[in-house]
Amino acid sequence: MTRIEVRGLTKRYGHDTAVDDLSFTVEAGQVTGFLGPNGAGKSTTMKMVLGLAAPTSGSVTIGGRRYRDLPVPLTEVGALLDAGAVHPGRRACDHLLALAAGAGLPRRRVGEVLARTGLEPVARRRAGEFSLGMRQRLGIAGALLGDPRVLMFDEPVNGLDPEGIRWIRGLMRSLAAEGRAVLVSSHLMNEMAQTADHLVVIGRGRLIADTSVTEFLNGRGEGAVLVRAEDPAAFALRLTAAGAVVREGTGSAVVVSGLTAEEIGRLAACHGAVLSELTPQRPSLEDAFMELTGDSVEFQGVSA
C-alpha cells in the first residue's frame, strides 16, 4: 500500500519557521484532511512532498521513496496545488496531451481523465475561458493522468459553488475507495468533517492533532445546555444556586453551562419545575477547530 510518510519535517525561510518538526502518515484507502489556519504551513508541506521546496531537515517519502527518486512521478503521485497554473491560451485537451507526452503516458489516458472529470464537452475550449470550477476540474484531470496511488489537493473547494463542492467531495471519496491515499488541505473544519476519514491539524507549522474524524467528533465534550422552563426566572435562580452559569437564550430559553443535561433534569424534578426543553448544545466543529488552533492563528482581529 502506498502512503505518504512525513518525518520530522522542518522548513525555515530565513528566521521564520514555516514547518516545524512535523510527522504524520497519509494512509492508503482514506481521505486525510490537512487542516490549519492561514499560514499554518499546509502548502509548504505539500510542496515538500512534491519536491518543489527542499526541507531544511527531516524527510518525506511516497511509498518509501523521496519524490526525486520516483522514476515517473506522475504515475505515483498526482497533485492539484494551483488551479490557475495552466496557460490560458491552451485547449484543455492539448494541456493534458502535453502532460501525458512529457511523462510518456498513452494518449488514451487523456480521454479517460476528461471523462472522469466531466470535461469532455469542453475539451477543445481554451483554459482561459474556463470558470474556476472548470479550471479545478482540469487541474484534477492532470493530477489523475498517471493513475497515481497518491493524490494531494490544496484547498480544492475554495471558491466553488455547492454543485462543484459536492462533486469534489464525491471524487475524493471515490478515489479513497479505490485504495488511493488522498491528502486534502482546507481551513474549514466543517468541510473536512464531511469528506475526510482522518484529520491532521497543524498550527504555526506544528502538529496539533492527528486523529480519525470519528474520534474527533466523539471527543468533543458536551457544551452548554439549552433549557426552556415554565418559570425561567425562578429556575435560573435554582440553577445559579447549584453552581451553574446561566445566560439568556432566544425567547424564554436560557443557556446553562457548568451542569450536564442530566443534572439539570434532576434539579428540575427535585424542585417540581416544569421544563419544555432540555437540549445539550455540542460546540460546532468550527468552534472545536478554533479551540484547537486558537493560539496558532497568525493574525487575530480584535472583536468589538
Ligand X SMILES: Nc1ncnc2c1ncn2[C@@H]1O[C@H](COP(=O)(O)OP(=O)(O)OP(=O)(O)O)[C@@H](O)[C@H]1O
Residues at the site binding ligand X, with contacts judged by CB under 6 A: 13, 16, 18, 36, 38-44, 187
State in angstroms the smallest separation of the CB of 204 from ligand X: 8
Close Cβ partners of 66 (under 8 Å, ≥ 6 residues apart): 51, 59, 60
Cβ closest to ligand X, residue 43 vs residue 195: 43
Nearer to ligand X, 117 or 293 (CB): 293
- C-alpha cell belonging to residue 117: 472529470
Integer CA distances (angstroms), 127 to 84, 92, 124, in order: 9, 6, 9
CB of 114 to ligand X, least distance (A): 29
Least gap, CB of 50 to ligand X (angstroms): 13
**C-beta of 289: minimal distance to ligand X in Å?**
13
Angle between helix axes 261-271 and 232-241 (nearest 10 degrees) is 110
Compute how many other C-beta atoms are within 10 angstroms of the C-beta atom of residue 292: 19
- Cβ proximity to ligand X, 38 vs 250, nearer residue: 38
Among residues 137, 99, 91, 135, which one has the least CA distance to residue 115? 137
Taking the least distance from each CB to ligand X, the nearer of 120 and 295 is 295
Closest CB to ligand X among residues 199, 229: 199
- Total residue count of the chain as it appears in this document: 304
Tell me how far the alpha carbon of residue 188 is from its chain's centroid.
6
Cell numbers found for residue 44: 509548504
Task: Provide the minimum distance between the beta carbon of 76 and ligand X in the complex, in angstroms, as a whole number.
Answer: 23
How many whole angstroms separate alpha carbon 224 and alpha carbon 222? Answer: 7
Q: Which is nearer to ligand X, 10 or 75 (CB)?
A: 10
Q: Residue 107 to residues 96, 111, 168: CA-CA distances in angstroms?
A: 9, 7, 25
Nearest distance, CB of residue 42 and ligand X, angstroms: 3
Task: Assess contact for 103 and 146: CB atoms under 8 A.
Answer: yes
For residues 30 and 293, which CB has a smaller minimum distance to ligand X in the complex?
293
Min dist CB 160 to ligand X, Å, is 16
Site of grid cell 490557475 = 84
